[in-house]
Amino acid sequence: MKKYKIGLVGCGRISAKHIEAVKNIEKAELAAVCDIDEERASSVAERSGLANYYLSYDRMLEQEDIDIVNILTPSGMHAEHTIDIVKKYKKHIIVEKPMALRTSDADAMIRTCDLNSVRLFVVKQNRYNLPVRKLRSALENGDFGRLFLGTVRVRWCRDQRYYDMDEWRGTWRYDGGVLANQASHHIDLLEWMLGTPVSVMAKTETFMSNIEVDDTAAAIIKFENGAMGIIEATTATRPHDIEGSVSILGEKGSVVIGGFAVNKMVTWNFNGLSDGARLKILSEFAENPPNVYGFGHIRYIEHVIDCIENNKQALVDGLEGRKSLELINAIYESAETGREVELKFRPKMSRLGN
């Protein structure tokens, strides 16, 4: 059995989730880690039982035999690191969310990976949460009938100490506001459930922290299928996290998944469903993780290996990861301009057809 050798670029907060995932996957092996911060690199290497650590990805990739590189650096650096590594070393890439902050950067990442025949995977681990999968299968079965409303809420607590932990946090260049960072998962889920957005109106504010970016955002989206979407996202909740949730309402049923990280089925109501069947689903899908990162990294990286090994289509490749980034950029543009922003060019009078 081939074991896929994984190298981590960045030994910060999220690296623990990747290490835990790799440990739990039979076909994966943690080969090496690097960070420009020596203390972080050495302590992560030590905790993972690695003899070595590296202070640059160039050194790591020159010296180690690695199949997949996980990019866990600050969001605004993902594009530069991905493109450089792919051009020089031609490795498959797992990049943390958001894949980039600018759509032009996302395009350059997708193009570079395609040109160098490597795969690009964007971490959206919440798609693998068991209640989210249950919701998606109900949707694919047509159980909702016509969909009319989807709401996502992120009510998390990120205080000044959180933003002061590292220089990149709370900056436009490297982090983006609550939509680009914390809510990017939930926005991805909303689009996964409701389809293509056609326009958005939004407002953003900075209420509780001294940061360059927003800590609170509200947006209303129109989708191609006629449904409306609502996004409420804040890191200004005090004193604790309340929820990361998604609600989907259709003409024949309603589902709400709550918990801290979209992990707990709260409502499962469909026409004609007995109370017993409804309660069974609620108790079967009641997992709430110990923190907002959730359980999904293991399932996500397992899927990546399956895609590489068996040449399968990825659930969240570069193009799929780009979708929520495009919507997030449109939301920020609406907040900046005070106007409703349309997302895609749609021909109205082209001779080639409408």
121, two tokens: 């995977």
Q: Is 59 exposed, middle or buried (0-12, 13-18, 19+ CB in 10 A)?
A: middle
Nearer to ligand NAD, 256 or 292 (CB): 292
Q: Which of 108, 30, 107 is nearest to 69 (CA)?
A: 30
Least spacing, CB of residue 263 vs ligand NAD, in Å: 12
Contact predicate 85/61, CB 8 Å: yes
Select the span of 25-33, 66-74, 327-335, 336-344 touching ligand NAD (CB under 6 A): 66-74
Residue 175 has phi, psi (to 5 degrees) of -120, -50
Per CB under 6 A, 280 contacts ligand NAD: no
Select the span of 28-36, 104-112, 128-136, 309-317 touching ligand NAD (CB under 6 A): 28-36
299, two tokens: 């399932």
Residues 346, 249: Cα–Cα separation, whole Å = 27
Nearer to ligand NAD, 73 or 204 (CB): 73
Helices marked H in 4-37: 15-23
Per CB under 6 A, 37 contacts ligand NAD: yes
| Interface of this chain with ligand NAD, residues 335 to 354, rule: CB under 6 A | none
| Interface of this chain with ligand NAD, residues 162 to 201, rule: CB under 6 A | 166, 181
Select the span of 31-39, 82-90, 137-145, 192-200 touching ligand NAD (CB under 6 A): 31-39
Selected from 48, 70, 82, 125, the binder of ligand NAD by CB under 6 A is: 125
103, two tokens: 């759509």
Nearer to ligand NAD, 125 or 237 (CB): 125
Q: Which residue has its beta carbon closest to ligand NAD?
A: 12
| Interface of this chain with ligand NAD, residues 281 to 310, rule: CB under 6 A | 293
78, 87, 103, 210, 338 from 328: Cα distances, Å: 17, 28, 10, 22, 15
Per CB under 6 A, 10 contacts ligand NAD: yes
Helices marked H in the chain: 15-23, 38-47, 57-63, 78-89, 103-115, 130-140, 160-164, 184-194, 275-284, 296-310, 318-337
Nearer to ligand NAD, 44 or 335 (CB): 44
Binding site for ligand NAD (CB under 6 A): 9-14, 34-37, 40, 57, 72-75, 77, 96-97, 123, 125, 166, 181, 293
